[in-house]
Structure 1
């Protein structure tokens, strides 16, 4: 079974300009995803899909294979699902055949090798795609509401049996730690929940998703704590 890993990184990030090549610790942000992929025994090849020459240069410096992403797939409004499809079609046109597609977004640099391995193990013949989640800090049954233009509000979810927090279903936040799927599922469907989805639970400290400078600073702090802990072992 062949496994190809992909990192999709646009050059025109609005929340934190230049974030994908911004240094986090000793390495550019995108390099953390590449380095984790290189440590997973089951991954055969690593690709970076980008529209940016600067990101491409960093990717090549870390021994990833660059796929040039068309400009129309690198806008704020372009669904990343379409970039996934482009990468698969691009490689198929070159004669590549692979069984498992894994996306490791650059914005989750604190993932562990064990997280990726667990996702790979969870993809079976009865599953279309595996996502990662982390325990949610809020519950739609108790403290998440929707409101109209007049400010009238109501709970996102209601349930006759959910009078106490202990009675409500446990809910999770989806993360960007990893997405693992069969390539054919991506090519023949339009979204993640079109198929049978499994999830892998990842601790919150490994599931930071960097969108702005505050997320980046949190990642810097957690990375420093992680490195300090390893130094003391």
Structure 2
């Protein structure tokens, strides 16, 4: 099966300027995703989709391909990344022929492991009915128990009202947070569907310490702390 890894990294990050190439633990953030993809058995190549020449240069220096620049209209704040996925798949199919597995490894998730990625690929391969595999972590809050919404007057109520009295977290269905560790999908599904959850979705559970998604300066500061702790625990 042909498996191609993609990393989608646009240049206009406002939360953390220059985020995708900002140094973390001695190398640009995007390099962490590239390195994991290159270390994962069965991946044919790693392609970075970006609109930014600086990101493209860093990606190439760390072993990824950047065979095209993403069109500007697919790199705005409001452009759904789903459309960038479609663009990348269509480009590869036209230039290099059909492939079997589309794998997205966001640059903002630097602590994933090769095992996490391999688990997603194995899950997709083991279930012919699945369209996509996502990664999840155990949720810290539950919409049945301690997540609330506000009405027009500002009064709070549970997001989902349980049937009967709920006094323990164990009394409600188990819920999970989606992560950005990895997405493994069939290319045809991405091209025909309009959103991730439109198909048959399987999931792989990853621990919270490998599921950090960097979106804000606080997230980046936390990532730096985690990286330092990991380095001290495993000195070279």
Q: TM-score range by the shorter chain?
A: over 0.9
1:83-162 counterparts in 2 under 5 A? 83-123=84-124, 124-161=127-164
Displacement of 1:221: 1.1
Quick one: distance in 2 between partners of 1:136 and 1:162? 21
Instruction: Give the superposition deviation at 1:121.
Output: 0.6
Is residue 162–residue 168 contact of structure 1 (8 Å, CA) maintained in 2?
no
Q: Runs of 5+ in structure 2 lacking a partner?
A: none
Q: Residue deviations 1:199-223, cap 9 Å, x none? A: 1111111000000111001111111
Alpha-carbon separation, structure 1, partners of 2:37 and 2:182:
11
**Offset, 1:139:** 1.0
* Partner SS state of residue 193, structure 1: helix
Alpha-carbon deviation of 1:42? 1.4
Q: Name the SS for the 2:234 alignment partner.
A: helix
SS at match of 1:86: helix
Q: Distance in 2 between matches of 1:229 and 1:120?
A: 29
Partner of 1:62: 62
Tell me which of 191, 195, 212 is aligned to 1:191.
Answer: 195
Distance in 1 between the 2:123 and 2:231 partners?
Answer: 29
How far the C-alpha of 1:153 sits from its partner, in A, is 1.9
Runs of 4 or more, structure 1, over 4 Å off, are: none
Question: What is the deviation of 1:152?
Answer: 2.0
Report the alpha carbon displacement of residue 161 of structure 1 after superposing the two structures with TM: 4.5
- TM superposition shift of 1:91: 1.1
- Cα deviation for residue 162 of structure 1 reads 5.7
Cα–Cα, structure 1 residues 159 and 178, in superposed 2: closer, same or farther, change >3 Å?
same
> What SS does structure 2 have at the residue aligned with 1:200?
strand
Match of 1:170 among 153, 157, 174: 174
- How much has 1:133 moved relative to structure 2? 0.6
Deviations 1:134-189 (A, max 9, x none): 11111111111111232022111122156121111111110000000000000000
Q: TM-score, normalised by structure 1?
A: 0.97
Structure 2: distance between partners of 1:209 and 1:167: 29
- The separation in 2 between residues aligned to 1:222 and 1:170, in whole angstroms, is 27
The normalised TM-score by structure 2 is: 0.95
2:14 paired residue number: 14
Measure, in 2, the Cα distance between the counterparts of 1:162 and 1:93.
Answer: 57
